């Protein structure tokens, strides 16, 4: 089926080097599954791509054990070909975002259900020895040589075993990539300058969007969630960096829709009009956890403090 044209702000056939003020900077996002790159930080990714940053997404697993969350895609032929379909969805999202992307090559661990939870499947990503998975990421870091790396916090953003393992692998690889004694056969050492964690849904953001919906006379999708929310002010205070990227929410949405098995176009992802999102919370938020450079906090840029790269 022909794909609709992609609206990628900042990209035109007449681009010149002067139109790309961030040319030479490199940014790596490390994610657990295909679709995570589009649901976490995709608007800031699109902003940086439009400014000339070379953005590389590493996807740790193929998402083989993920659920089909879009009712329109919950069909036998989809389940029979889920591995290939999720791979195709990732390639489409990659092209929409204008990024390069690599698979780390591990198998989805799945979401364990039950009480007690069953053991994880043998050979899945969460059970692979850390040294093995970290070495693969170190190899990609040394090849791509990013100035900035992002991933999930120690809780994984949410407690999926692959998200938690993604955090562990990224932290280990970030520490090892610049050390010539670590994984000496994985390429020339390269030390990224900054490591960030995604902070996608703080209480402040969720509540602000909730209040904005009510102020417009609209039903909020977050009412029940906020009623049950056990607030952790210290956790929200960990955010150090808010990247203005509201102009790129449309690109984010197109990338999300590319993951048709995972994203229901009639579901919660699109319950809040984009204009309300842009006016209410036009940033994507991060926590700076490691840095070899000085920058003033709070930041509004993942590259704050990093000198302009040499041509």
> Which residue ranges make up the annotated binding site?
33, 36, 163
Q: In what order do the strands lie in the sheet with 194-199?
A: 100-106, 54-61, 26-31, 148-151, 194-199, 283-291, 241-244
Are the C-beta atoms of residues 246 and 277 closer than 8 Å to each other? Answer: yes
Binding residue numbers for Zn(2+): 33, 36, 163
* Residue 210 per-residue DSSP state: H
Helices (H), the chain: 36-39, 42-50, 76-80, 82-97, 130-144, 161-177, 203-215, 223-228, 233-236, 249-258, 274-280
Phi and psi torsions of 94, nearest 5°: -60, -45
Which residues have C-beta within 8 Å of that of residue 181, sequence separation ≥ 6?
A: none
């Amino acid at each position: 089926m022909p794909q609709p044209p992609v609206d990628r702000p900042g990209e035109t056939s007449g681009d010149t080097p002067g139109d790309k003020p961030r040319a030479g900077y490199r940014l790596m996002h490390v994610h657990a599954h295909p679709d995570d790159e589009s649901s976490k930080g995709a608007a800031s990714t699109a902003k940086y791509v439009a400014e000339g940053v070379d953005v590389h997404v590493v996807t740790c697993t193929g998402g083989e054990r993920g659920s089909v969350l879009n009712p329109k895609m919950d069909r036998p032929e989809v389940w029979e070909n889920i591995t290939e379909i999720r791979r195709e969805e990732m390639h489409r999202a990659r092209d929409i975002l204008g990024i390069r992307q690599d698979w780390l090559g591990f198998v989805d661990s799945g979401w364990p259900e039950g009480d007690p939870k069953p053991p994880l499947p043998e050979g899945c990503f969460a059970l692979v020895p850390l040294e093995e998975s970290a070495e693969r990421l170190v190899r990609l870091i040394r090849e791509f040589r990013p100035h900035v790396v992002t991933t999930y916090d120690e809780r994984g953003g949410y407690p999926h075993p692959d998200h938690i393992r993604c955090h562990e692998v990224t932290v280990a690889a970030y520490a090892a990539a610049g050390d010539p004694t670590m994984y000496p056969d994985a390429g020339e050492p390269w030390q990224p300058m900054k490591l960030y964690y995604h902070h996608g849904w703080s209480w402040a953001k969720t509540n602000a969007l909730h209040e904005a919906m009510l102020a417009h006379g609209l039903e909020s999708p977050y009412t029940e969630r906020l009623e049950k929310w056990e607030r952790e002010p210290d956790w929200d205070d960990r955010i150090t960096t808010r990247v203005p990227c509201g102009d790129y929410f449309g690109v984010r949405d197109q990338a999300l829709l590319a993951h048709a098995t995972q994203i229901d176009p009639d579901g919660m992802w699109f319950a809040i009009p984009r204009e309300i999102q842009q006016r209410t919370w036009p940033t994507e938020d991060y926590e700076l956890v490691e840095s070899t450079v000085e920058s003033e906090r709070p930041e509004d840029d993942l590259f704050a403090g990093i000198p302009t790269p040499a041509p």
